[in-house]
Amino acid sequence: MSRMILRRLLVSLVVLWLVSLLVFVATLLLPGDPARAILGQQATPERISALRHQLHLDDPVWKRYLDWLGGLFTGDLGTSTSTQGPVTALLGDRISASLVLLVLAAVLAVPIGLALGTWSSVRRGRATDQTISGVSLVIAALPEFVIGVALIVLFSTTVFKLFPSVTLTTPGEPVWRQPAQLVLPVVTLVLVVTPYIARMMRATMNEVLDSGYVEMARLKGVPERVVLRRHALPHAVGPVAQVVAIQLAWLTGGVVVVEFLFRYPGIGQALIDAVAKRDVAVVQAVTLLIAAVYIVVNLLADVVGILANPRLRTEAGR
């Protein structure tokens, strides 16, 4: 089992390395000169060549890649062309702001999703089940900005005026200082993720509840409540943990649109700004960050899966 986990770990590391290569190569394709972009209108040939040297743009490509990779480990993510400051300074507070959003959404979405899925499965075929399945099918289809705009119209601007539709904190103040502004972004993310968790939980529970040992327990006269708690739920944990983890990894990508919509000062908004201004160092840093989280959470999901049920994990499992 530990060999399998080690193997997964190695695969993840290789994937992470390939991703870094991909992100780096993408920037080489960019037309124009970053030094010129940073200096803008005040560029003189001397200052450009000085900055090119300072940014090591005159080094060979392989050396630039190694420098960039080395910088990632030492916390030097390069220079932003739009703020003309280090990328780390730009992203510092934003990372914690995004984390607040992600953790809150996860803490709410996971139990709700599991509970709804279990409930739906226990009431299989009945009205409760059909309602939960139907609603989750509809919500799961909606892009996150559609859900977000609907929430804004319902709870911020038009129907009820309860929560802010944009982030109100002044720059530099932590976002949680005004909790009301977190409500709509968090609810949007919860609504986006919960249907998947609920649907997967329902499917897994359906299989578990149909299985032989649950049948045996029932025949032995164990009360249904205990069957559910003692026999069914533990067996559902492995596969569902994986889906949950993948959904949480997905949140790091989905947060981009949600942050833009609510003007939330996180890394997602930084990414959109950077793409619009073609500020490549920032785009590189944020995409790599998101990919890293994605890979690590996927790895954790696989490890949980292996630990929960080794036989479930086959090489072509995903």
Q: Which of residues 169-228 bind another protein (CB under 8 A)?
A: 170-172, 180-181, 192, 196, 199-200, 202-203
Stretch that binds another protein, among 57-65, 96-104, 140-148, 223-231 (CB under 8 A): 140-148
Of residues 222 and 263, the one with the C-beta less far from another protein: 263
Count of residues that bind another protein according to CB under 8 A? 93
Stretch that binds another protein, among 14-22, 64-72, 97-105, 222-230 (CB under 8 A): 14-22
Q: What's the number of CA atoms in the CB half-sphere (13 Å) around residue 35?
A: 16
Do residues 6 and 306 make contact, with C-beta atoms less than 8 angstroms apart?
no
> Please, what is the minimum distance in Å from the beta carbon of residue 223 to another protein?
28
198-255-169-82 Cα dihedral, nearest 10 degrees: 180
Binding another protein (rule: CB under 8 A), the pick from 247, 270, 305, 308 is 247
Of residues 124 and 222, the one with the C-beta less far from another protein: 124
Stretch that binds another protein, among 61-69, 106-114, 216-224, 239-247 (CB under 8 A): 239-247
* Chain residues 56-115 in contact with another protein, contact rule CB under 8 A: 80-86, 89-90
SS3 95: helix
Stretch that binds another protein, among 66-74, 100-108, 220-228, 266-274 (CB under 8 A): 266-274
- Other residues' Cβ atoms within 10 Å of the Cβ of residue 158: 9
For residue 69, the cross-strand partners are: none
Binding another protein (rule: CB under 8 A), the pick from 1, 10, 107, 138 is 138
Binding another protein (rule: CB under 8 A), the pick from 41, 60, 212, 219 is 41
Binding another protein (rule: CB under 8 A), the pick from 271, 303, 304, 308 is 271
State how far the Cα of 126 lies from the Cα of 144, in Å rounded to an integer: 29
Q: What's the number of CA atoms in the CB half-sphere (13 Å) around residue 229?
A: 5
State how far the Cα of 300 lies from the Cα of 241, in Å rounded to an integer: 10
DSSP run (H or E) holding 90: helix 87-122
Stretch that binds another protein, among 59-67, 107-115, 229-237, 249-257 (CB under 8 A): 249-257
SS3 116: helix
Phi-psi region of 123 (alpha: psi -120 to 50; beta: other; left: phi over 0): alpha
Of residues 104 and 152, the one with the C-beta less far from another protein: 152
Of residues 223 and 317, the one with the C-beta less far from another protein: 317
Residue 138, CA distances (Å) to 97, 132, 192 in order: 30, 10, 11
Residue 158 is a binding residue for another protein (CB under 8 A): yes
Of residues 121 and 217, the one with the C-beta less far from another protein: 121
Of residues 60 and 172, the one with the C-beta less far from another protein: 172
> Please, what is the minimum distance in Å from the beta carbon of residue 225 to another protein?
25
Residue 118 φ then ψ, to 5°: -65, -45
DSSP string, 245-308: HHHHHHHHHHHHHHHHHTT--SHHHHHHHHHHHT-HHHHHHHHHHHHHHHHHHHHHHHHHHHHH
* Chain residues 277-316 in contact with another protein, contact rule CB under 8 A: 277-280, 283, 287, 290-291, 294-295, 298, 316
